[in-house]
Structure 1
Amino acid sequence: MGEFELIESFFWRRPGQGPRRAVVGNGDDCAVIAPAPGMQLAVSTDTLVEGRHFLSTVDPRRLGHKALAVNLSDLAACGAQPLAFTLALTLPRVDATWLQAFAQGLLDLADEHECELIGGDTTAGPLAIGITVMGEVPVGQTLLRSGARAGDDIWVSGFPGEARLALEAFRGTLHPGLSGDAFDATRLAMEAPDPRVALGVGLRGVASAAVDVSDGLLGDLGHVLRRSGVGAMLALDTLPLSPWLAARPRAEQLDCILAGGDDYELVFTAPPARREAVAALGDTLGLVLSRIGRIEAEPGVRLHVSGLDGEGDATPVPNRWASFDHFRG
């Protein structure tokens, strides 16, 4: 099977298949898209490399889902509604069964979010997946990392840490290990995360800043703090625990939640006056939203064992909780 036959067999969307948002879709040298009047384009790119971002044993359907999900998560963090994406796929060989499952996972999620595949590239080489996603957001309503202010609450969606727990299970570092149900649930969190697009859109006009958790909660919150020129207090006893993490030793819980990464939950800040709006949004979406700290004027992060009021002894941030970095030695 050649390159163009591969594209037509697995990734070509015919009339009536999937969303049609582009003025000119795939099949020409360039796609042409136009955001609606009063909207701006939000654009993000991510690459997934076998052995670095995913295991060689991953179900290809889940891999297709995750490849797009991690990009949609970036749009969510900016409050953008998905519009379209391109796919650059590097393959060691053409495996029709693998490609069928990968494309199904990718395009099912694309259809769920009405995000059109409008072009890309295929080439031979070690397995790698590059996606550039485009979304639209009303002018002046983009959520940025630079908007946090002293006094704002810090919130996190869902249950960060499950993906890291699954990874450690694969590595064989957990003692005791995970049971069948716990392993299946955390593996799903790692391999097929749910991008919080509806939450991001709902946070327009509510949140002051936002970021998605890809490299660890502390590290990604740190991006907000640096861009906003502020610091933070986190109350460790307010961190949300899934049933699987709740059963683990406390040190393991904190390692997974604060430094695990690969969660694709949203960490966001909002003024205290918006607490009811945040709670209502969580209820509407059926999503757990946990208030875990507050923004402070003093730079740096202070961890408190208990209490959102910051009472009690502060805990220093261990080096092992540093944000993930592909090039750190």
Structure 2
Amino acid sequence: MMGEFNLINKYFVDRQAQRKDVILAAGDDCALVEMPENVSIAISTDTLVAGTHFLADAPAAWVAHKALASNLSDLAAMGATPAWVSLALTMPEPDEAWLAPFCSAFFDLADYFGVQLIGGDTTKGPLSITLTVQGFVPKEQALRRSGARVGDWVYVTGELGDSQAGLDVVLDPNKSTKPFAQELLYRHFHATPRVLVGQAMLPYASAAIDISDGLISDIQHILTASHVGVSLDVDALPLSKELIQFVDDKPTAQQYALTSGEEYELCFTVPEEHKGAVDTATAHCGVQVTCIGQIRPQDHFELHASGEPLDWSVSGYDHFKES
């Protein structure tokens, strides 16, 4: 059986070109990096646990993509440019048949975004993956949750709800024969972090968050931090044709869009004076950006369609809420 250090050397060391700001990566007690001038360091840590975030028999390459994409999405939400990542991997046994595709997909995505693995840890235990990513954002320009003001417009990137449909297929194999089930399953694991959109919106957005627990839950974090309310137009929610056919009606698809977790799209707010700049600023990003509502005074929360209020009772994902 391969030992820990042989495993690290074979699968994690010398897999990437060295960034100029990395003095020392894996191989010592600590990594050494240099911080550019006039930037703040954005740092995010996420853990994915087998049985909670993915099934143990999920394709290793898909798990790797999901793990890194979820962390990069946090950087995107603050407008940060990804730079470094560390990985703590816990496995029952050093399974090379699992590690090879995991590492291949992990480094493919890391290289695409210019992120270098600078260290981490491997240990024996139930399968789990913990990543810490770090990136740069110009000083005092990071997008936060606390900047939304009454009158700002609410935007989201991409299409919402597909991840939940893919999770349905994971949890209920009987749904694998429904229209577009396999495509939606793939999308559940293969989110695209909206790094370019986050960077493009630095001069214009007043607040931002990534959608990891469902739009209806995550926008509440902006409302709470900014002391505001919101009115959301359910008819404006961006839906894929695959989702609508999978669930078989548009209102159900809209509820998926409101509650679907692990989307890793961005939700951000834009003041009226910058609304006209959104399309131009994001034109090079290659991603759909949709206005879905407007910020209202504190304690106002409304879902509406065709101008009429909706009384839907919907909620997003909570790790500690009993199902």
TM-score (norm 2): 0.94
CA shift digits 1:1-41 (9 cap, x unpaired): 00011110001126x63645312211111112222110110
2:119 corresponds to which residue? 119
2:178 corresponds to which residue? 178
Shift of 1:173: 8.7
Q: Secondary structure at the match of 1:142?
A: coil
2:308 corresponds to which residue? 313
CA distance 1:281–1:177, change in 2 (3 Å)? farther
Shift of 1:317: 4.2
* Residue of 230, 233, 237 corresponding to 1:235: 233
Amino acid at match of 1:4: F
Q: Conserved in 2, the CA contact under 8 Å of 1:21 and 1:84?
A: no
Query: Separation in 2 of the partners of 1:52 and 1:122?
Result: 20
CA distance 1:173–1:298, change in 2 (3 Å)? farther
Query: Separation in 1 of the partners of 2:114 and 2:228?
Result: 37
Shift of 1:273: 2.2
* Residue 8 (str. 1) matches residue 6 (str. 2): no
* Residue 323 (str. 1) matches residue 316 (str. 2): yes
Q: Secondary structure at the match of 2:89?
A: strand
Shift of 1:64: 1.1
Shift of 1:326: 1.0
Number of corresponding residues: 319
Amino acid at match of 1:250: K
Q: Secondary structure at the match of 1:23?
A: strand
Q: Conserved in 2, the CA contact under 8 Å of 1:18 and 1:111?
A: no
1:245 corresponds to which residue? 243
Q: Conserved in 1, the CA contact under 8 Å of 2:168 and 2:175?
A: no
Query: Separation in 2 of the partners of 1:173 and 1:30?
Result: 44
CA distance 1:40–1:175, change in 2 (3 Å)? closer
* Residue 285 (str. 1) matches residue 285 (str. 2): yes
* Residue of 219, 222, 230 corresponding to 2:220: 222
Amino acid at match of 2:242: W
Q: Conserved in 1, the CA contact under 8 Å of 2:47 and 2:129?
A: yes
CA shift digits 1:92-127 (9 cap, x unpaired): 111112101101111111111111101011000110
Residue pairs, 1:158-173, within 5 angstroms: 158-172=158-172
Instruction: Note the aligned Cα RMSD (angstroms).
Output: 1.7
Query: Separation in 1 of the partners of 2:94 and 2:200?
Result: 41
Q: Conserved in 1, the CA contact under 8 Å of 2:71 and 2:132?
A: yes
Query: Separation in 2 of the partners of 1:113 and 1:21?
Result: 15
CA shift digits 1:128-182 (9 cap, x unpaired): 0000000010001100000000000000000011010111123339879523xx1
* Residue of 200, 213, 224 corresponding to 1:202: 200
* Residue 95 (str. 1) matches residue 95 (str. 2): yes
Q: Secondary structure at the match of 2:149?
A: coil
Query: Separation in 2 of the partners of 1:185 and 1:271?
Result: 36
Q: Conserved in 2, the CA contact under 8 Å of 1:169 and 1:177?
A: no
* Residue of 185, 188, 200 corresponding to 2:186: 188
Shift of 1:59: 1.4
Q: Conserved in 1, the CA contact under 8 Å of 2:232 and 2:303?
A: yes
CA distance 1:173–1:95, change in 2 (3 Å)? closer
Q: Secondary structure at the match of 2:283?
A: helix
CA shift digits 1:212-245 (9 cap, x unpaired): 0000001000100000000000011101111112
1:309 corresponds to which residue? none
Q: Conserved in 1, the CA contact under 8 Å of 2:21 and 2:35?
A: no
1:47 corresponds to which residue? 47
2:21 corresponds to which residue? 21
Query: Separation in 2 of the partners of 1:58 and 1:173?
Result: 13
Amino acid at match of 1:162: D
Shift of 1:88: 0.3
Amino acid at match of 2:203: G
Q: Conserved in 1, the CA contact under 8 Å of 2:88 and 2:131?
A: yes
Q: Conserved in 2, the CA contact under 8 Å of 1:58 and 1:191?
A: no
TM-score (norm 1): 0.93
Q: Conserved in 1, the CA contact under 8 Å of 2:169 and 2:185?
A: no
Q: Secondary structure at the match of 2:5?
A: helix
Amino acid at match of 2:45: T
Shift of 1:322: 1.7
Query: Separation in 2 of the partners of 1:44 and 1:316?
Result: 36
Shift of 1:55: 1.9
Query: Separation in 2 of the partners of 1:75 and 1:271?
Result: 22
